[in-house]
Amino acid sequence: MTMDVDFSALATQGPDGARRLELALDGMTCAACIFEIEAALKRVPHLAAARVNYADRRLSLEWTAPTFDFGLVTERLRRMGYRARPFERESGEREERETSRRLLRCLAVAGFASVNVMLLSEAVWLGGDMDTVTRDFFHGVSALIALPAAAFAGQPFFTSAFAALRARRLNIDVPISLGVLLSLAMSVYETLTHAPHAYFDSATMLLAFLLLARYLDHAMRRKTRAVAANLAALRAPVACRLDTDGAKSFVPLAALAPGDRVLARPGERIPADGVVVCGQASLDESVVTGETQRRAVTAGDSVYAGAMNFDGALTMRVEAAAGGSLIDEIERLLDKATAARSRYMRLADRVSRLYAPLVHIAALATALAWLAAGASLHDALVTAIAVLVVTCPCALALAVPAVQVAASGALFRAGVLLNSADALERLAEIDTVVFDKTGTLTTPEPRVANAREIEPSLLELAARLAHSSRHPLARAVAREYPRAATLDGAREEQGAGVVAIVDGVEARLGDPRFCGLERDCAAAAREEASIIAFRHGERTAALVVRQTLRADARETIEALAARGLRVILLSGDRVAPVEATARALHIAEWRGAMKPADKVGRLEALRAQGRKILMIGDGINDAPALAAAHVSLSPIDATEIAQAAADAVFLGDGLAPIVTTIDAARQAHTLMRQNLALSLLYNAIAAPLAMAGMLTPLIAAVAMSSSSLVVTLNALRAGGETKREPSMQPAQQREAAA
């Protein structure tokens, strides 16, 4: 595909006059690519800077000269085998990066303060014969470190606690803030009255541990989201826009406005919802509706974004903004479904909702009990603070995020990207799996169904020939050997096929009549399939092209059934093909001809029976169902709207990641529960001791740290066992080669 798109219009101009543009890159396999890309771009004239971000797979460019030729950059990248697309950093992502930096800054300050204060405090605890002046000096220095540090590093908790209190709620940040503030206030009082102990170390350590947990939680979500956004950018196609003067220009989809006239050529997807102005074609709308039979459209018909144009060029008018389109209806359903799911509460939230009031009551009860027993107000308060500090939810706060980080890292390596932090917990709870058919159980693009019956060398030759054509059927053949070299001198005859001379013999691929194979092909013709003929001298083949089951669909269904999960197939396609698929995969429960609202309705009926559903789908029509299910997965070749609605996206051609994900989620869930149990156990032991006034700050600090450590070590077990599937290769990489 030779198409140079001028993305430079999307660059942002900084105050210094320099233009910057960020590109999402595909095709980077190892660190050596960094140097290859940067070295190649160094020689592009007028390009001031090019820097690869390897972790996010992005390339940022900077230039000032107006004469800078952007085409050179895309051309060089393409020649090296990388695909690049402009990446518009969403404002959300910018915010996330800022939050991440702020947390890291707070963590650094809290870490610095806690280490230094701990050194001083330890000297006080262990130096039994220390004179009062030295001790006061140490406490004074501790105060000078701890107070400003807590004021800075405690902000994430203080603001959240304040917001919760204003809304008359209690969250986990309230006891944290109270514990920190009370222990600081008490320590200042103790220092001023020359008392033997102060608790600056407890306060700062508490902050450091909690900030660590928050940072881990945040970093995990940020990383997967960054990569997912990349993939979305890479997949976002460009549209061929017809300007008023008849000139064609390629623009990113985001640049399309209602009223624009767009050209959709055969082999391309319809870029936006609209109305056909002229031309006729048959569209494969399986991604939109699930229906696999093609629909013929002509001037005046509505077309929907995502449909594949099979033959014939269409000129269409974009009408995305007009309400009542398919997308509008789907978005309405989507909103409703998402709102229903947002009520789900995370495991950690559920625990901390109970935990926060309990800690306050325990601390208050301690103070009252000590007062009643005749202790002074000061002693009663000190003990109450000890309770607040020792029941610090450090381990509790680490329990869930630490597991999430380890498990999502392992899944990331196995080719599964999590969209939401609580997806793992919801995945672990499922008992029913609902599949979409088209594009999920079957491959999204048509494939050669009888590939195995054809001699491999012949098929490879056909694929090499097919690489010279953009016809959808030819692309299906080309997909069999995605990396095969094209044939020199291949020539396409419009509406008939491709022809080339191989080893002195003419090779033809295309319409049966074009290859003179009408009789052979008539025999091979079946319902639901297209026939493409191939002839090389005397060797001939009739290739049956249709959507085929994904290679490991049957194994995956069996593996799911073996885990005691109920498997259901819901499809928008007609009943006959759905039945055939269900029978081939031994799925007992299936329904066809379902509209998006029907799917949501069915899921709701299942939910009313108390089922927790995992929905797996790829089409635009699946998006509401994906959002309505308890948890959802999409293959990476799914439509953007489906990916956005799904909790996780898996890479590769197969379905094996589904089983991997469920197993990993179940293991992670077990570990989270263990961790919560461990931290609650720790509190159950430590809190009574603190209430009895038996804990010295040193023991409290050691106990607190070791409980956090145990929880973290336990969480690391989630990272070990998932391996990358050998067959996994991002689908788009293959497409790029095709």
Partner 1 sequence: MTVLLFLVPLALLLGALGLMAFVWSLNAGQYEDLEGAAARALSDDDLEDTQT
Residues with active-site annotation: 436
Please tell me whether residue 369 binds partner 1 under the rule CB under 8 A: no
For residue 732, the minimal CB distance to partner 1 (Å) is: 21
589-591 β-sheet, strand order: 416-418, 648-650, 631-635, 613-616, 432-435, 566-570, 589-591
For residue 68, the minimal CB distance to partner 1 (Å) is: 22
Selected from 31, 167, 562, 608, the binder of partner 1 by CB under 8 A is 31
Q: In the complex with partner 1, which residue's Cβ is closer, 97 or 513?
A: 97
Residue that the structure tokens 């263990």 belong to: 674
Q: In the complex with partner 1, which residue's Cβ is closer, 1 or 133?
A: 133
Selected from 72, 78, 112, 255, the binder of partner 1 by CB under 8 A is 112
Selected from 9, 39, 151, 278, the binder of partner 1 by CB under 8 A is 39
For residue 33, the minimal CB distance to partner 1 (Å) is: 9
Please tell me whether residue 105 binds partner 1 under the rule CB under 8 A: yes
Are 710 and 679 a contacting pair, CB within 8 Å?
A: no
Q: Which listed range, 130-138, 391-399, 534-542, 566-574, lies at the site for partner 1 (CB under 8 A)?
A: 130-138
Q: Which listed range, 137-145, 159-167, 310-318, 619-627, lies at the site for partner 1 (CB under 8 A)?
A: 137-145
Gap between the terminal Cα atoms of the chain? 9
Please tell me whether residue 344 binds partner 1 under the rule CB under 8 A: no
Query: Rounded to whole angstroms, how far apart are CA atoms 685 and 680?
Result: 9
Please tell me whether residue 126 binds partner 1 under the rule CB under 8 A: no
Grouping H, G, I as helix, E, B as strand and the rest as coil, residue 21 is strand
Please tell me whether residue 137 binds partner 1 under the rule CB under 8 A: yes
Please tell me whether residue 108 binds partner 1 under the rule CB under 8 A: yes
Q: Which listed range, 105-113, 279-287, 616-624, 666-674, lies at the site for partner 1 (CB under 8 A)?
A: 105-113
Please tell me whether residue 116 binds partner 1 under the rule CB under 8 A: yes
Query: Rounded to whole angstroms, how far apart are CA atoms 590 and 569?
Result: 4
For residue 311, the minimal CB distance to partner 1 (Å) is: 45
Residue 453 DSSP one-character state? G
Q: In the complex with partner 1, which residue's Cβ is closer, 43 or 483?
A: 43
Long-range contacts of 86-95 (CB under 8 A, 24+ apart): 86/7, 86/10, 86/21, 86/22, 86/23, 86/24, 86/233, 86/252, 87/22, 87/23, 87/24, 87/58, 87/229, 87/230, 87/233, 88/10, 88/22, 88/233, 88/254, 89/22, 90/229, 93/225, 93/226, 93/229
Grouping H, G, I as helix, E, B as strand and the rest as coil, residue 302 is strand
Selected from 101, 194, 350, 586, the binder of partner 1 by CB under 8 A is 101
Please tell me whether residue 12 binds partner 1 under the rule CB under 8 A: no
For residue 177, the minimal CB distance to partner 1 (Å) is: 23
Please tell me whether residue 38 binds partner 1 under the rule CB under 8 A: yes
Q: Which listed range, 99-107, 289-297, 653-661, 699-707, lies at the site for partner 1 (CB under 8 A)?
A: 99-107
Annotate each residue in 140-179 with x if it binds partner 1 (CB under 8 A) or - if it does not, as one string: -x---x----------------------------------
For residue 643, the minimal CB distance to partner 1 (Å) is: 24
**Which residue type, as a one-letter code, is found at position 379?**
D
- Which positions ≥6 away from 144 have C-beta within 8 Å? none
Pair of tokens at residue 700: 């409290």
Q: In the complex with partner 1, which residue's Cβ is closer, 39 or 254?
A: 39
Q: In the complex with partner 1, which residue's Cβ is closer, 31 or 167?
A: 31
Selected from 40, 72, 104, 255, the binder of partner 1 by CB under 8 A is 104
For residue 519, the minimal CB distance to partner 1 (Å) is: 58
Pair of tokens at residue 144: 């000078």
For residue 141, the minimal CB distance to partner 1 (Å) is: 6
Residue closest to 538 by CA, chosen among 509, 507, 513, 497: 507
Query: Rounded to whole angstroms, how far apart are CA atoms 284 and 280?
Result: 13
Selected from 13, 134, 376, 696, the binder of partner 1 by CB under 8 A is 134
Are 203 and 150 a contacting pair, CB within 8 Å?
A: yes
The count of chain residues that interact with partner 1, using the rule CB under 8 A, is 26
Selected from 10, 24, 109, 474, the binder of partner 1 by CB under 8 A is 109
Please tell me whether residue 110 binds partner 1 under the rule CB under 8 A: no
Name residues contacting partner 1, limited to 49-78 (CB under 8 A): 52-56
For residue 53, the minimal CB distance to partner 1 (Å) is: 4
Pair of tokens at residue 100: 């991440």
Q: In the complex with partner 1, which residue's Cβ is closer, 55 or 126?
A: 55
Q: In the complex with partner 1, which residue's Cβ is closer, 58 or 475?
A: 58
Grouping H, G, I as helix, E, B as strand and the rest as coil, residue 186 is helix
Residue 8 DSSP one-character state? G
Query: Rounded to whole angstroms, how far apart are CA atoms 674 and 668?
Result: 10
Alpha helix (H) ranges present in 309-346? Answer: 326-341
Query: Rounded to whole angstroms, how far apart are CA atoms 32 and 656?
Result: 30
* Cβ burial 696-734 (10 Å sphere, 16+ → b, else e): ebbebbebbeebbebbbebbebbbeebeebeebebbbbe
Q: In the complex with partner 1, which residue's Cβ is closer, 58 or 235?
A: 58
Query: Rounded to whole angstroms, how far apart are CA atoms 580 and 370?
Result: 75
Q: In the complex with partner 1, which residue's Cβ is closer, 110 or 356?
A: 110
Q: Which residues bind to partner 1, rule: CB under 8 A?
A: 31-32, 34-35, 38-39, 52-56, 97, 101, 104-105, 108-109, 112, 115-116, 120, 133-134, 137, 141, 145
